[in-house]
Amino acid sequence: MASPIQIVLNPDNFQEAREKGGGGGHKDFFAHRDKEFAAHKTSLLQQIETISVELAAQATGSVGYAKVILRREAWAKSHRPMTALFRPDRTRLVGGADLGVMIVEARPRSLAEVAKQIEEAETETILRFDETKNKDVPYPSARKSEVGAIDRIELFRASDKRNFSVEEAVAWLSNPMTGGSYQVELFTPPAPRADWDRLDEANRTLLETFVAGFSTLGQGVSVARMSSGSGSQPLLSVRLDETSTPVLRMNDTPSNERKRALAPFAHDIESHIRLLEFLDNHPLVRRIELPGIVVRANAATENRTRPSAATINARDLRRSYPKLGVVDGGISPALDEWIIDRWTVLADEDSNHAHGTFIGGLATIGASLNGPEICSEADGAELVDIAIFPSPEKAGAFASYYPDGVPQFFDEMEAAVADAHARHGVRVFNMSLNILQPAVADRYSAHAVRLDGIAEANNAVIFVSAGNTQPQDLRPEWPADASRALADLALARNDGLLTPAESARNVTIAALNPTGHDGCVPYAPTRYSRRGPGLRGSMKPDLAHVGGAGTQHTTLGHGLFSILPDGAIVDGCGTSYAAPIAAKTAAVIEHLIEGEVSRETIIGMLVHHARLPEPLRDKTLSPVARHLVGFGMPPSAETILETGDHSITLVFASRIKPGEQINFGFSWPASLVETGGKCRGAAKLTLVSTPPLDARFGAEYVRVNINAVLQQEQAPDKWKGRLEPVYLPDKRDRHAIEAELIEHDLKWSPVKVHAKNFPKGVGPSSNWRLFVEYLTRAGEEMPEEGVPFTAVLTISDPTDDKPVFNEMRQNLQAIGAQITDIRTAARITPRV
């Protein structure tokens, strides 16, 4: 018998004051190694002295920026050297880079104060008797602990700012689709000229020399503030052109500003050398990047049509359908029956409907063309056609609509998504487009920042393709042997994710092989699908779905079917086509739940019920599986929203606020409890949150960690977590350090999944709790409005025998938990 997913209507009743603790005392990283610590102190002092001398001699003033690089075992918040050494009142923390790398504002005077604290750190190992351990243990001062936590201190230099040559830059920027502008990130926003008198002498000199430097280049240069989607990340667009007068607009400009025609791009190499040397060497500049180019994520052309036309059924105006926004180059009139609105800026001659129509066909008639094993949702979806991507086959088309490049494209997308949401309530969008820039492990790209801002502003979820490799980088077809698969992956090159697939607010989709295609292993990763991990500590891609085979079959072609603009059947492949199939399931979930379901719940439902494809379940593939398919392939919306009587799925959609935690206690199902309190069964817990993000901190861009654990009572007020990360490679036999928690437990990731089977029973008690808490980064404050999250918990009997659903419902009602079918919950609760 089917049992609906239950949502807890009164999660606020289980909020309580946050327990303040954790972190422990100071750690001595050089315990019993006194000589080594003395040498380490001397080395750090020399590094600081060198940096101070260099800063004092700068023509740009005495302000600079330094990297404080922590040793791996000191990545945890409690070990950060921000209490005794780099205190906020002494040195300003301005960002981060890779994990464990702090970037601070540095001045000779403040560095001298840091050096004094380092000098005062005791060299000898101090011991103190610990009664709980019944032995002497190291008991360092805060100074010694923080000095030991640091590996080294370096000045932020030109080598940290860019990774391309001048020749590469000029060749890339010559393409009109780029907009021709360097993207320059600063450490701090430039103050308006009228406020310079409020700056201290060092900061005023820093800004004056930055502005003056553009005027001395001897070439026309245009500088403008870019919209980053994040007020904390100051970005400038810097373009060299063939005019003679510099135009400097470093502060915000009105959004309705009239766009002027761009002056011709300057190809002169010497001019670019002077510009890049200036930017490389000015302390205010943090990073210089080349702009991206928007590309479609289809790996092969649609090369074969069916002998008969597809049947496009009429839309029944008496009923409602799931809604999906398609951000692409336009959908042909062949699907007019299902298009409820169009947002287009493209002239007919600049449009190419093939890609968008294939995607629209998958959403509307994909099930009848491909069957439920590939397209599990019933045919029919109301589409909003967001036609904003000009034909890539027409030279100069993109630049004619978006002369400023990708940022201007995102401006148009932002307006279109907001309009579709406001007019039609569209919450799910498909964007099978990528930026031709690889995602990197230590940087949250400006493209991902913009996309995430669009999703958050509209309470929407955007499905993004992971991207496809170039033809020369295709991997071999996935083999049946796991060891051979690992070897093929080890030899693969240039197959990492493209931006903005590292997006933190949206869902990235990789591609799987279709069924019934004897040229490939069913549901294995396709040979063209790009892989993660994206930023360190994250899970990308998030999910995977069928995208068509990269090797053609003699009769089936790529094995995934949709339609051409004229309505004819065609086969194709690409992560472009995997994304809308997953997006359709999300749209059906959103449609079946009354009211405006939160984006955290939509994502959580998909991730929680996703399953690892069969070809990736071999244990030897565990370390790489998540980088290929994320949490796996989601089933149909119907399967997600209903369970059997042998299990229950509970949804907690709430907001954790400053100073609070959530403690939801309950009894394990009685039929799964043995004599002595041992509990059998299986449990799975998925958490999706929307924490504050800050791109200035690189790989540490997530500033608040929301964590949920399922714990069993061991003794009064003593609890033990019972679940493990789904991708934990080996059973732990010791306490995990911060680096391991980031890598395997996805600490700091907005999406986490833990699970465990207990076939023999565990623990001494039937008392369990779902516990949700938060942790802020060092120096970070929890937002006053809190952080929204959704936790999805399933408890089941793997033998499909015990009445878990009914037992849990009775237990929860007895403790005052109000629960109901999630599909109708909006009648009662404001947040689902």
CATH number of residue 588's parent domain? 3.40.50.200
Domain assignment present for residue 302? The answer is no
Residue 279 token pair: 């930017």
Between CA 825 and CA 820 the distance in angstroms is 6
Lowest mean pLDDT among 191-205, 493-507, 694-708: 191-205
**What CATH code is carried by the domain that includes residue 788?**
2.60.120.380
Quick one: pLDDT at residue 830? 61
pLDDT in tens, 1-47: 567 888 888 887 777 787 765 555 789 999 999 999 999 999 999 99
Report the range of poorest mean pLDDT among 90-104, 432-446, 723-737: 723-737
Which one of 289, 304, 334 terminates a domain? Answer: 289
Cis amide prior to 533 (ω within 30 degrees): yes
Q: Is residue 340 pLDDT above 80, yes or no?
A: yes
User: Are 702 and 822 in the same domain?
Assistant: yes
- Chain-centre distance for alpha carbon 118: 37
Residue 152 scores a pLDDT above 70: yes
Both 658 and 621 in one domain: the answer is no
The verdict on 622 and 674 lying in the same domain is no
Q: How far apart are CA 464 and CA 579, in angstroms?
A: 6
In DSSP notation, 110-125 reads: HHHHHHHHHHHS--SP
* pLDDT value of residue 401: 94
End residue of a domain, out of 159, 185, 206: 159
684 and 816 together in one domain: yes
CA distance 191 to 193: 6
* C-beta separation of 377 from 584 below 8 A: yes
Domain coverage including residue 682 = 2-16+645-827
- Domain shared by 554 and 424, yes or no: yes
Nearest by Cα to 75 from 722, 710, 705, 542: 705
Q: Is residue 665 part of a domain?
A: yes
Q: Where are the alpha helices (DSSP H) in 255-336?
A: 269-281
Secondary structure of residue 575 in the 3-state scheme? helix
CB 785 within 8 A of CB 660: no
- Distance between CA atoms of residues 832 and 830, nearest Å: 7
Structure-model confidence comparison of residues 678 and 260, the more confident one: 678
150 and 62 co-located in one domain? yes
In a domain, 316, yes or no: no
Confidence of residue 247 (pLDDT cuts 50, 70, 90): confident
Residues 329 and 412 in one domain: yes
Do 626 and 673 lie in one domain? The reply is no
pLDDT higher than threshold 80 for residue 629: yes
Domain's final residue, options 159, 179, 209: 159
Over 80: is that where the pLDDT of 81 sits?
yes
Q: Is residue 24 part of a domain?
A: no
**For range 718-722, the mean pLDDT:** 93
Q: Let me know: does 541 contact 497? Beta carbons within 8 Å.
A: yes
Q: How many domains does the chain have?
A: 4
Query: What pLDDT was estimated at residue 232?
Result: 67
Residue 739: per-residue pLDDT: 77
Residue 258, pLDDT > 50, answer: no
Which helix (H) or strand (E) element contains residue 607? helix 599-609
**Dist CA 742 CA 698 (whole Å):** 14
pLDDT of residue 424: 96
Confidence of residue 301 (pLDDT cuts 50, 70, 90): very low
Q: What angle do CA 645, 651, 694 make, to 5 degrees?
A: 150
Average pLDDT over residues 568-587: 96
Examine residue 178 and state whether it is found in any structural domain, yes or no: yes
The order of strands in the sheet holding 64-70 is 93-96, 101-106, 64-70, 150-155
> 252 and 393: one domain?
no
> CB neighbours of 46 closer than 8 A, spacing ≥ 6?
none
Q: State the pLDDT confidence band at 572, using cuts at 50, 70 and 90.
A: very high
Q: Which two tokens stand for residue 438?
A: 């690889």
In this structure, the strands spanning 642-644 and 2-4 are antiparallel
Give domain status of residue 774, yes or no. yes
The whole-number pLDDT of residue 2 equals 65
718 DSSP β-pair partners = 715
pLDDT band at 303 (very low <50, low <70, confident <90, very high): very low
Average per-residue pLDDT for the chain = 90
Residue 520 carries which side chain, given as an amino acid letter? C
Structure confidence at residue 119 (pLDDT): 94
Question: For the segment 413-441, what is each residue's pLDDT rounded down to a tens digit?
Answer: 999 999 999 999 999 999 999 998 888 88
Integer Cα distance of 9 and 652 in angstroms: 8
pTM higher than the cut 0.85? yes
Residue 684 and residue 812 in one domain: yes
Q: Give the pLDDT score at 430.
A: 98
Question: How many angstroms from the chain centroid is the CA of residue 485?
Answer: 27
- Report whether pLDDT(219) > 80: no
The reply to whether 73 falls in a domain is: yes
pLDDT tier, 309 (very low <50, low <70, confident <90, very high otherwise): low
User: Does one domain contain both 684 and 818?
Assistant: yes
Shared domain check, 420 and 560: yes
**In this predicted structure, what is the pLDDT of residue 764?**
92
CA 440 to chain centre: 12
653 part of a folded domain: yes
Over 90: is that where the pLDDT of 609 sits?
yes
Phi–psi pair at 102, nearest 5 degrees: -95, 140
Give yes or no for residue 63 having a pLDDT over 90: yes
pLDDT confidence of 299, banded at 50, 70, 90? Answer: very low
Choice among 96-100, 230-234, 628-632, 720-724 with the minimum mean pLDDT: 230-234
